[in-house]
């Protein structure tokens, strides 16, 4: 799309999640930054930011089931914790043995878990509108498990719909995500494929199904307290985290020395890439 750098496509094989794809910006001689997108987004989430991050090699991964990456086999689920080995295996395949991670939303939650599971692999992190995974009370687990099993059973007999026009999909994504239409277009164009006289989702339908279990809030706080790497947190004043009661305790648990607020909603890194890139450069330049 006009105004954004075209990323170089890549594919990497993993043991746990098949072939994962992504986009690469920058030179191989630049400082590499592994970028993890949010739920139902894809590697194009970082295209606007890449245009303003010269001097860094941005390796944006399509998470399993997202974008052009392989779907999990029939009968398998998409659980948060399963993303961790997938990311580590993909990073190794890309030659990223240790370094910097940038994560947005779900990608931020995954980045934190990667930093805990393999601390020697992560030097520092940037979390954009993401500070730990979603949580809920343990009392909700029985109902959540029941709904998840029923949902997956129904999904086995459901086929992905074909849409005659891509424009309504873009407009809906922009409205629901409270993002600019240009940002929504980037995400949708990578997340659909042409089929016959219309468009079908590339992303796995099972990503929309209920998870069988969430962490509890004490478990999330314990995870954040376990993160020892320098971490920058970038939040939007109109973002999803701004009004959550959990935000203050989570920030305290992480104990970051670099928490910044910006005007913008959940996809502020796409809608305001210059501002976010400036903050990211200031942080990342410490580790070059």
User: Which one has a higher pLDDT value, 153 or 169?
Assistant: 169
Helix (H, G, I), strand (E, B) or coil at 171: helix
pLDDT digits (tens, 9 = 90+) for 48-92: 999 999 899 999 999 999 999 999 998 888 999 999 999 999 999
In the predicted structure, residue 29 carries a pLDDT above the cut 80: yes
Residue 59: which of 31, 18, 40 has the closest Cα?
Answer: 31
Q: How far apart are CA 266 and CA 234, in angstroms?
A: 10
pLDDT digits (tens, 9 = 90+) for 88-137: 999 999 998 889 999 999 999 999 999 999 999 999 999 999 999 999 99
Q: Percent of the chain, pLDDT > 70?
A: 98
Q: What is the pLDDT at residue 77?
A: 86
Is 105 part of the annotated catalytic residue set? yes
User: Which one has a higher pLDDT value, 97 or 275?
Assistant: 275
Q: What is the pLDDT at residue 3?
A: 52
Q: Is 27 exposed, middle or buried (0-12, 13-18, 19+ CB in 10 A)?
A: exposed
Structure tokens at 87: 């990311």
Q: Is 143 exposed, middle or buried (0-12, 13-18, 19+ CB in 10 A)?
A: exposed
* 21 neighbors 67 (Cβ within 8 angstroms): yes
Q: How far apart are CA 135 and CA 157, in angstroms?
A: 30
- List 45, 69, 105, 183, catalytic entry: 105
Q: What is the pLDDT at residue 1?
A: 40
In the predicted structure, residue 6 carries a pLDDT above the cut 80: no
pLDDT digits (tens, 9 = 90+) for 175-220: 999 999 999 999 999 999 998 889 999 999 999 998 999 999 999 9
In the predicted structure, residue 23 carries a pLDDT above the cut 90: yes
Does the model's pTM come out above 0.85? yes
- CATH fold group of domain 8-136+215-287: Rossmann fold (3.40.50)
């Amino acid at each position: 799309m006009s105004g954004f750098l075209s990323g170089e496509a890549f594919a990497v094989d993993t043991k746990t999640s098949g072939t994962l794809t992504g986009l690469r910006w920058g030179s191989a001689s630049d400082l590499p930054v592994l970028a993890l997108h949010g739920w139902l987004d894809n590697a194009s989430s970082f295209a606007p930011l890449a245009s303003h991050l010269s001097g860094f090699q941005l390796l944006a991964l399509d998470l399993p089931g997202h974008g052009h990456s392989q779907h999990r086999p029939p009968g398998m689920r998409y659980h948060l914790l399963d993303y961790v080995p997938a990311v580590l295996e993909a990073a190794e395949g890309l030659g990223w043995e240790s370094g910097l991670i940038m994560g947005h939303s779900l990608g931020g939650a995954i980045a934190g878990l990667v930093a805990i599971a393999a601390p020697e692999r992560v030097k520092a992190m940037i979390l954009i509108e993401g500070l730990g995974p979603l949580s809920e009370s343990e009392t909700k687990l029985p109902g959540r498990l029941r709904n998840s099993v029923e949902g997956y059973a129904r999904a086995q007999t459901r086929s992905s719909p074909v849409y005659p026009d891509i424009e309504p999909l873009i407009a809906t994504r922009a409205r629901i995500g409270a993002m600019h239409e240009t940002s929504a277009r980037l995400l949708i164009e990578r997340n659909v494929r042409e089929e016959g006289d219309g468009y079908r989702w590339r992303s796995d339908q099972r990503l929309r199904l209920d998870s069988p279990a969430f962490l509890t809030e004490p478990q999330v706080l314990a995870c954040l307290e376990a993160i020892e790497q320098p971490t920058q947190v970038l939040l939007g004043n109109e973002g999803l985290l701004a009004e959550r009661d959990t935000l203050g305790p989570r920030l305290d648990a992480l104990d970051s020395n670099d928490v910044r607020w910006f005007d913008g909603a959940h996809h502020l890194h796409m809608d305001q890439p210059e501002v976010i890139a400036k903050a990211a450069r200031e942080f990342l330049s410490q580790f070059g």
